[in-house]
Amino acid sequence: MTPRPHQLPAPPAPHRVVALLLPPQDTFPLACASEVFGDHGPVVPAHYAFGVCTEHPGPVRTRAGYDLLVTAGLDALEEADTVLVPGWQQPAGTEVPSAVVDAVARAHRRGARVVGLCSGAFVLAAAGLLDGRRAATHWARAAELAARFPRVRVDPGVLYVDHGDVATSAGAAAGADLCLHLVREDHGAAHALRIARQMVMPPHREGCQLQYAELPAPAPAADSLAPLLEWLHGRLDRPVSVAEMAVRSQVSARTLTRRFTEQLGISPGRWLLDRRIAATRALLEETDLPVETIAHRVGLSSAVNLRRRFHEALRTTPAAYRRAFRAQRTGGAGSGS
């Protein structure tokens, strides 16, 4: 008798992300979403399938002076695992079309995650998905969102807010921050880092970091934190104090802290700890290294310190995180959220 060949389990179906385009479509948040959830070639495993739809299929006018040809209608949202609204660029007071509101609400009831980038939060609010919830949008439209939808707890200062089933972001690059955050939640920090590298993106920013609502006074290039951040990335395996960072930057510790707050909306110590936690997550996901070894690799000195810091950041232990991530990977969680 000829033995049967070993049957490998079929890979999980890709997570379907459908962007709902609304004329006049803002192209930047759409580009952020497509860059994160689109095809990255053979270098990055394909966990997502990205598509677009619109209320009335055909040419969709954009704010960039060209049209996009969109062939799928609102019925595409019925098969989406994530519905993404990359902006709502209508004049103040304009009502979201009832067909769009109904389609988004139905997708959410079915279990799809619904994401609003920038002013896309207006569409989510119109569908009632933000009632009683904290939400982000572009700082310039935060007051309008709060006035039109008083049941929404608008936070004009943060980059993004994620409730699990619903998420919103501030404007411009904050949309990319939120999309990369969702990838980290879906498939881990290591996979998100691969995508960020393909996009030549800087290290991720947490949602609690501040928007830049006020234009800072022009600063000389010497004030940029970029050289210091690059230096720190190469030294995550070593303890580095704020005083050492200040010496490296040739400024006082007080001046360095002020620059971090102005440019990143976070303290130097918190920024560095966030990077160490992100590196810890990637090593837990991709290696079987003991926690003690990981602690030394990410500059947290000991397993005890790593466990404490990790629990403070993620409300779980490194061992539980590793088990949950491995279980998710083998359980085919990529098809939903």
Question: Widest CA span of the chain, in angstroms?
Answer: 80
- Residue 304, number of CB atoms within 10 A of its CB: 12
User: What does the block give as tokens for 143?
Assistant: 């007051």
Contact 176, 32 (CB under 8 A): yes
User: What does the block give as tokens for 203?
Assistant: 């290290």
Give me the half-sphere count of Cα atoms (radius 13 Å) on the Cβ side of residue 115.
32
User: What does the block give as tokens for 47?
Assistant: 């966990």
pLDDT value for 332: 45
pLDDT value for 10: 61
- Is the entire prediction scored with pTM above 0.75? no
pLDDT value for 218: 41
Opening angle at CA 259, ends 142 and 194, nearest 5 = 75
Let me know how many helices (H) and strands (E) the chain has, helices first.
Answer: 13, 10
Residue type for 247, please? V
Per-residue pLDDT for the chain (337 aa), expressed as one digit of tens each? 555 555 555 667 899 999 999 999 999 999 999 999 999 888 788 899 999 999 999 999 999 999 999 999 999 999 999 999 999 999 888 999 999 999 999 999 999 999 999 999 999 999 999 999 999 999 889 999 999 999 999 988 788 999 999 999 998 788 999 999 999 889 888 888 888 878 876 555 554 444 443 334 444 445 678 788 888 988 888 889 999 999 999 999 999 998 888 777 788 998 899 889 988 988 998 899 999 999 999 999 899 999 999 999 888 899 998 888 777 666 644 333 3
Opening angle at CA 53, ends 52 and 57, nearest 5 = 130
Of residues 94, 139, 100, the one with CA closest to residue 119: 139
User: What does the block give as tokens for 298?
Assistant: 């990410």
CA 199 from chain centre, in angstroms, equals 14
Alpha-carbon distances, residue 59 vs 62, 93, 99, 248 (angstroms):
9, 25, 18, 53
d(CA 39, CA 8): 24
Task: Kindly report, residue by residue over 22-64, the tens digit of the pLDDT.
Answer: 999 999 999 999 999 999 888 788 899 999 999 999 999 999 9
Beta strands in the chain (DSSP E): 15-21, 48-54, 58-61, 67-70, 82-86, 113-117, 134-135, 153-154, 160-162, 166-169
CA 165 from chain centre, in angstroms, equals 14
User: What does the block give as tokens for 314?
Assistant: 């993620």
d(CA 278, CA 7): 36
Opening angle at CA 245, ends 242 and 248, nearest 5 = 155
User: What does the block give as tokens for 177?
Assistant: 């921050």
Phi, psi of 104 (to 5 degrees): -65, -45
